[in-house]
Amino acid sequence: MVLGAALVAGAAFATNYSLWINGRTGGGVAGNYADFTYWGPAGTAAGVNKKAVNWDGYSHVSDKNYLVRNALDCYCTGSNWCYIAVHSAGNLQIGYTLSLYGGTARYKKNASPASDGSCANSDGTTQTGWNIKWVDVAAGAAGGSELANAGDWALSEPLVSDLKTGTARAMYDHNNTRSKIFYLWAGAKGTLYSGILPGQDDEAVAYHSAGGVSGSGGGSYCNPSDWFCNDLTLGTAPAEGGTAKWSNHSVVFRDDAEAYNHYTNGNWQGTVGLVRADMVNYAK
């Protein structure tokens, strides 16, 4: 009976969380998991027990990645599990984290963060990696952006050098997701000034990046209605022309109507709005 009571008590403390990792420009206070400034009103539903994993969106991914690891340690260890949602360069952050640190020993934490976003050990034991159900990606920048290549963004930002297509694609092994599925939403409401981006784009990243297409450089991929470049396929299948997507990357939304751009506009907009709806429906 004592053993049974202990099992029931352990199950009672198992909790699911929804972690949101921002992209370029940041906005929320690092370590404050209740600050959704980057995304929109904090009261908006965005998955079970939502937490904002804030980083400055300015520094090199490697310099601020500890903030992501802190959040995963806090909420995704022990008996707790996480759903992850990311936007733009947040895709680089979670991919980098899983590839480089997803096989390391992590202390189980108590999910009660200090002001710096770190949590204390719960029982002194460790586990390998984190308890992650899946990753939702809005306008993913894991493949970089030609706007960074061309200097269309401030060259003084360390993150911009990370977002160059060659740098982003070589930063870590994008195929090594630790068996976590990355579900991708790719927008296509580009404008004339984003003509430097190949194929369809959302004004900041092209389909080759948002669609998880592998390779050392960015290819040109489009909607089926465009006759002049290869299609970005849905699901995990290779893009038209035969180039594979990264392992465990699946396109669930391709913006055939060209209706969604890159930006949240402080109100959960763009493809982030579609990901938010998915988190509300399935992150429970």
pLDDT digits (tens, 9 = 90+) for 73-117: 999 999 999 999 999 999 999 999 999 999 999 999 999 999 999
CB 109 within 8 A of CB 56: no
Q: Measured between alpha carbons, how far is 170 from 184 in angstroms, rounded to an integer?
A: 20
Which three-class secondary structure state does DSSP give residue 85?
A: strand
Q: Please calculate the CA angle 116-39-234 and round it to the nearest 5 degrees.
A: 115
For 112-166, the pLDDT digits (tens) are: 999 999 999 999 999 999 999 999 999 999 999 999 999 888 888 999 999 999 9
CB 83 within 8 A of CB 17: yes
* Residue 219: closest CA among 201, 240, 198, 194: 198
